[in-house]
Chain A
Amino acid sequence: MTLDSNTSQPADGNLAVADAGAAIAARGLRRDFKGGIEAVRDIDLTVAAGEVFGFLGPNGAGKTTTVRMLCTLLPPTSGSATVAGLDVVRDGAEVRRRIGVALQEIGLDPVQTGRELLELQCGLYGITGRQGKLRAQELLELVGLVDAAERRTKTYSGGMKRRLDLASALVHSPEVLFLDEPTTGLDPASRLTVWDEVRRINASGTTVFLTTQYLEEADKLCDRLAIIDEGQIVAEGTPEQLKAQMGHDVVSLSLDGADIAATEAALSGLPGLERVVVEPDALALYVEDGASSIAEIVRRLDRDGIRVAAITVSRPSLDDVFLRATGRRLEGQEQQSQQPAAATS
C-alpha cells in the first residue's frame, strides 16, 4: 500500500530502462526468517544517483534487513536489487568495492587505535603504504579525531565511535554510502555533527542511503524518503510532498475521556475538513485553514456538550504522514492499537 509515489514507478516492461543509472534499485525485494518472520515484504525502491535517501520506520520495521540485503551481507529470499548498477547477489564482490557501510552496531575493533583501524581499512580496500597513511590522516581530520587517533577505540565516546565508523566507511570514496541509524544513541550535538558530515559527503557526489527512526533527521537530511512499517513501504516521496498530501493544517483535539464517536459525529461536515485521523483519546483533523476552523469546532463541540482538554493547531509533520500510513505515531514509539477505518478522507 503505497500512499503516493513521486519516483515514477514504471510499468514492469520498463524496469531495466528506469533503473539504469539509479544508484539503488530494488524490485520485489523480500527476506523471510525462520519461524515465519517476514522481515521485508516485496519492496520496490529506486534511489537516484546523488540523492540522500531516507528509510524511516520504527524498530523492527525491516530497515536493517533491507540495508543488509543491499550491502550483500544477506541474500534476499526473493526479488532483486542493484547497487551502483550491479546485482547484489550476482556481482556481490564488485558491489562491495563500490559501497561504504556504517551499520547500526558500530563495527569497531576495540583493540586497535583509531589510526590503526583506518589504516587497516584502507589496506583492505587496496590503499596501502604511504597512501594509506595519508588517507587515514585525511579522514581523521575530516571527522575531527586527530587528537584521539593514537588511543584505542574502546576508550572513545559513542559520538567518537560513530564518527570513526563513518570515516572507515569512506576510505575508498564509495559511490553509495549506507548508513544504518547513524545517529541512534547520540546526543543532539553529535547528531548535528553527523548530519553535517552526511551533507558534506553527499555534496561530493556520494549517494547516501540512510535509515532512521527520527522524524527530524528524515525531514532535515533527506532529499526523498520512504516510510517502512512491518516490512512494507507505506509512503514515499520528498518530505514536503508527503506532508502536503496530508492537507494544510492539523487541528489536534485532546479528548480527555470524551466520546470519540460523538466527537467525530459533531465535527462531520466541518467546512474545509480534509481528513480525520483517530488516535487513542485524541483526534487529528486535517483542515484547509486551521485558525479559522477553531471557532466552528468549538461551537459544534459546545452545541453537543462535548468537553475536550485542549485544541492545538499545527502544520502536518512526517509523524502525521506516518500516523496516516500506519495508524500509529512514530514519535515516542508508542505502540497504539490500530483502529480499522480510522482514517477517512
Chain B
Amino acid sequence: MTEVLLLGRRAVREVVRYPEATIPTLFIPLFFLVVNIGQVSKTFPSTTPFLRGQGYVAFQLPVSLMFAVATATSGLALVTEIDLGYFDKLLVAPIRRSSIIFGRLTADLVRGIAGSGLVLLVGIALGARIQSGVLGALLIVLLSAAFGVAYAGFGVLIALRTRNVQATQSSFLLFFPLLFLTPNFVPFDRLSSLMETLARINPISYVIVGIRSLVIDGWDAGKIGVCVLVIVALGIILTALSLRAIATYDR
C-alpha cells in the first residue's frame, strides 16, 4: 500500500508540475459545451420536454464531463516512462508491479476530480441547475472522476502492449465513437432506430444518462445505479487487463 501511495504522490506531482498536459484535455470539453449550446439552444429551448424547464446546457453538461475525464494522459505518462527507462527502474525495485498501475490511477482520480469540478462549475455558470443539490453535484464529480479512472486503464493497456507513444496517443480517438454513439444530443427515443440500437448497447450511454439524471431529474436511483454499475464493470475489466499486461511485461 505504501508503494501505491508513494507512486501516486509522484504521479499527482506530475499533474501539478505539468499543467500543459492537463489543460489541453479540458479545452475540448469546454469548447464542445459552449459551441453545442450556442448552436442548438434555439432548436431545444427550455420548453423542450426532455429539458424539464432547463436550458440545453443542463442536457449537454454530462457529455462534456465525460470528455474532460476520458484521457490517455496516464497511458502517455507510462509510455514516456518506458521510453526514458524509468519504468525499468520501477520494475527492478522490490515492489508489486500492480502498484505502478494503481499509482497512475491515483493521479487519474485527482485529475478527474479537478477536471470535472471545473467543467461542472462552468456548466453552472452557463445556467445549468443541479436538481439533486449540492450532494448530487459532489456525486457528479465523483462519478465523472471514477469514470476517468476506469477509462484510464485503456490508455495504460495500450501503452504497455504497444510501448509506442503515437499508438497510445491515438487510443483517445476510440473514445469519439463511444461518446457520440450515445444519447448525447437528444434522449434515446429521439434517435433514429439504428442510432438508438447502437446507443443502447453502448455502455457509455448509461454513464451519461445517470449523470444527466442528477442534473435534470434529481435523484433517480435506477439510473444512478446502472451508471455506477457500468463504471465499476468498465473499471474492473480495463484495470484487470492493465494488471495482466504489466504482470506479463517482458515475461
Contact = CB atoms under 8 A, between A and B. Distances in A.
A125 B81 CA distance: 20
B173 interface: no
B2 interface: yes
B85 to A, nearest CB: 3
B189 interface: no
Given A73-B250, A74-B250, A120 B84 contact: no
Contacts of A72: 92
B6 A124 contact: yes
Interface in A67-121: 71-75, 93, 96-97, 99, 101, 103, 105-112, 116, 120-121
Nearest to B14: A111
B86 A128 contact: no
A111 B20 CA distance: 13
A124 B250 CA distance: 21
Interface residues of A, number: 29
B138 interface: no
A168 B94 contact: no
B95 A124 contact: yes
B96 to A, nearest CB: 9
Nearest to B16: A111
B31 interface: no
A28 interface: no
Nearest to B93: A124
Contacts of B95: 124
A123 interface: yes
B92 A96 contact: yes
Interface in B66-99: 81, 84-95
Contacts of B89: 101, 103, 107-108, 121, 168
A103 B85 contact: yes
B3 interface: yes
Contacts of B17: 111, 152
Interface string A160-180: 000000001000000000000
Given A93-B94, A96-B93, A124-B93, A107 B85 contact: yes
Contact of B90 (A74, A99, A105, A124): A124
Nearest to B99: A124
B179 to A, nearest CB: 30
Main secondary structure of the interface of B (DSSP, over half): helix
Given A112-B13, A124-B3, A128-B2, A107 B93 contact: no
Contact of A73 (B2, B10, B81, B88): B88
Nearest to A128: B2
Nearest to A97: B94
A176 B92 CA distance: 13
Nearest to B251: A75
Given A111-B13, A111-B14, A112-B10, A105 B93 contact: no
Contacts of A121: 89, 93
A105 B84 CA distance: 7
B13 A73 contact: no
B18 interface: yes
Contacts of A101: 88-89, 92
A106 B89 CA distance: 9
A123 B88 contact: no
B246 to A, nearest CB: 13
A105 B251 contact: no
B10 A120 contact: yes
A73 B84 contact: no
Interface string B3-38: 100110010011001100000000000000000000
A240 to B, nearest CB: 33
Interface string B50-71: 0000000000000000000000
A106 B85 contact: yes
Given A112-B10, A120-B10, A124-B3, A107 B88 contact: yes
Contacts of A96: 92-94
A168 B92 CA distance: 12
Contacts of B84: 105, 107-110
A105 B91 CA distance: 14
A111 B18 contact: yes
B10 A107 contact: no
A116 B13 CA distance: 10
Contacts of A106: 85
B102 to A, nearest CB: 14
A125 B93 contact: yes
Contacts of A107: 84-89
Contact of A125 (B86, B94, B251): B94
B68 to A, nearest CB: 22
A124 B86 CA distance: 13
Given A124-B93, A125-B93, A125-B94, 5 more contacts: A101-B88, A105-B84, A106-B85, A108-B89, A111-B10
In the complex, the 6 A-B pairs of residues with the closest C-beta atoms, listed nearest first: A105-B85, A107-B89, A107-B85, A124-B93, A97-B94, A123-B6
22 contacts: A72-B92, A73-B88, A73-B91, A73-B92, A73-B250, A99-B92, A103-B88, A105-B84, A107-B84, A107-B88, A107-B89, A108-B86, A109-B86, A110-B84, A112-B10, A112-B13, A116-B10, A121-B93, A123-B3, A124-B95, A126-B94, A152-B17
Interface of A: 71-75, 93, 96-97, 99, 101, 103, 105-112, 116, 120-121, 123-126, 128, 152, 168
